[in-house]
A and B are shown apart, each in its own frame.
Chain A
């Protein structure tokens, strides 16, 4: 688009036609304060903090939504503008409960920061002090309507990014309240607790149960890392205080998730209840004893040395590429992956999902597994009008987004539809892979997003763990579990039949049912390494906490030392 010339605070610049005043100001390097605006979503001009003076306009205009035109002259810091912003802030503070002294957001609050900046040393207007309900019906985070400023960021991310469309607004004006579905408790609504709204809330209206009051923004560090929970491989920002991760947020700059996370990646680590393994544990009959390092590593060394090549190593998706390489070079015998193997042919990326006009999801529920990919499907259906076909029977969390559901027998119909689509993407897990392959082979334009359990499955395949473990007999079975909790009963049954099972794990359960020795392993928060996502992109896992638990490499070294 052709450039238009605008003058902002005396600086003349050329910006693309169609830009908003806010975008133009940013190009000119001029900061305009905002509150309801968020870079990841469309602006709506709800809060009026970004008001600017546009010459020849009758009233002040919100910079976030007002489009530039050629020759426009804008003042962002005039007395009138500053006065209006202070007035808007006074109005915001005159509603509801904005007492900072008992708010968990104090120190991290965008509303508070603006009040400091505009030097609000008192509130000008009398306060009606209305009382709104606090909705604590969700497990991981709480909605306090009394802290809400109605910026609608939560509504917009739920609609535009997550594609869930759970949130909305009831009533008008000052009585407006954020609601879920048709005004049911959040915990009973269609909310999937992904926490994206929590991450964008500028005030204390949405409160994370685990990290409330645990650290304000100037007391914490942020470490960019990568989730190892599933092969979507979302970029994370680990919020760390005093060496502890207090909260996980989505990294807005990261592919493939662009700031989104699912309920598992965001909340599970902070709500882990399993017992941590910090010292080697050795089974004695039905009891477990904490062994001193030498005895445990000695026992493992003795068994491994005696087993010769009859060693089976089983890695979960929480094993990094570097850890896999260390295992590969140090441990003899056969190498297995704990789950079904990921497929790598005709890989669709998340960008492909965001451009698809037809989604075909075979035999899987993307509301339960690989949820961030499910969000791409949902927003594609909601925002771009893409169609969704679900192949397979049974309950499916994406049923409300689907335009069609077919049985396994009706693949011909699906293939016909896929052939008429421009950018069809087939999404499948291990169960639906045969059907997915059939569709993809018949439709040249189709790409395949194939997800298998485990974060680093693709990296592990590359590192020689390219066979699914099926209870293969060995004298010593080494399970490198990390923090995985995705354990099929069949795997445990198979391990129970093995002669000697060493599990290297962060948590004791469920491995204490099957292991003879459990050795400690760092969690994904405590180690650095590489993970390969489903689309083949490598991601860096970065340690955010230090630990005295030995790295997997150190554990291998101690066993090797004991063998010598």
Chain B
């Protein structure tokens, strides 16, 4: 049987969800019997191949135009898209900035924090991704098939969901597997 192919990427994120993915430890080794990792932020190949993949995992919220493009490309190229982590599912920590104006946030981050050197400016290069006024969860940008909340989701939850999907079963969130924060 051909192996299932899996891609992952991160958007506005602290990378903790990918750490939790690695935390599934020996389950990862078992999964690799039936899953082939194609692109991830921690492999050489960073982008899902044009010919597509079976499962895509996105962590993090959508905060700027670049992240929206990454999300849409992943959606186009995978059959099943998993939104993983509180930021991706709800907006999470990233959405804390939604209680402020985006320009206010930029000014504070680049010019006003205690650790900012005097004379710093907000970078305005057109090459830099444009910050959206509000942080959005992934589902506001693309269609999502499965949600794994958690900050980060526990390794057990991730292992369970991937194992079920690989086995062709429908994962069901109950009890300890469903946790926020």
Contact = CB atoms under 8 A, between A and B. Distances in A.
B139 interface: yes
A100 B95 CA distance: 12
A101 B180 contact: yes
Contact of B90 (A112, A122, A146): A122
B41 interface: no
A128 to B, nearest CB: 10
A102 to B, nearest CB: 6
B134 interface: yes
A119 B174 contact: yes
Contacts of A107: 181
B159 interface: no
Contacts of A100: 86, 151, 180-181
B92 interface: yes
B178 A121 contact: yes
B179 to A, nearest CB: 7
Contacts of A123: 89-90, 137
A85 to B, nearest CB: 16
A116 B178 contact: yes
A171 interface: no
B174 A101 contact: no
Interface in B130-155: 134, 137, 139-140, 144, 147-149, 151
A177 to B, nearest CB: 16
A92 to B, nearest CB: 14
Contact of B91 (A103, A116, A127): A127
Interface string B70-104: 00000000000001001001111101101100000
Nearest to A131: B99
Interface string B155-181: 000000000000000000111001111
Interface in A137-186: 146
B contacts with A: majority SS: mixed
B148 A101 contact: no
Interface centre among A99, A100, A119 (most CB of B within 10 A): A99
Interface centre among A121, A126, A127, A129 (most CB of B within 10 A): A121
A88 interface: no
A106 interface: yes
Nearest to B171: A121
A122 B86 contact: no
Nearest to A132: B99
Interface string A388-421: 0000000000000000000000000000000000
Interface residues of A, number: 20
Determine the interface band of chain B, counting residues with CB < 8 A from chain A. 20 to 34
A81 interface: no
A209 B147 CA distance: 34
A115 B175 CA distance: 11
A97 interface: yes
A105 to B, nearest CB: 10
A121 B92 contact: no
B137 A146 contact: no
Contact of B98 (A115, A119, A121, A129): A129
B173 A121 contact: yes
B148 A99 contact: no
Contact of A101 (B93, B137, B175): B93
B89 A99 contact: no
A122 B173 contact: no
Given A99-B96, A101-B181, A106-B181, A122 B91 contact: no
Interface in A80-109: 97, 99-103, 106-107
B57 to A, nearest CB: 15
Nearest to A122: B147
B139 A99 contact: no
Contacts of A119: 173-174, 178
A251 B113 CA distance: 45
Contacts of A129: 95, 98-99, 134
What are the 7 tightest A-B residue pairs by CB atom distance, in nearest-first order? A100-B181, A100-B180, A101-B151, A101-B181, A106-B181, A122-B147, A121-B147
Interface of A: 97, 99-103, 106-107, 112, 115-116, 119, 121-123, 126-127, 129, 131, 146
10 contacts: A99-B86, A99-B93, A99-B95, A101-B180, A102-B181, A106-B181, A112-B180, A121-B89, A121-B173, A122-B89
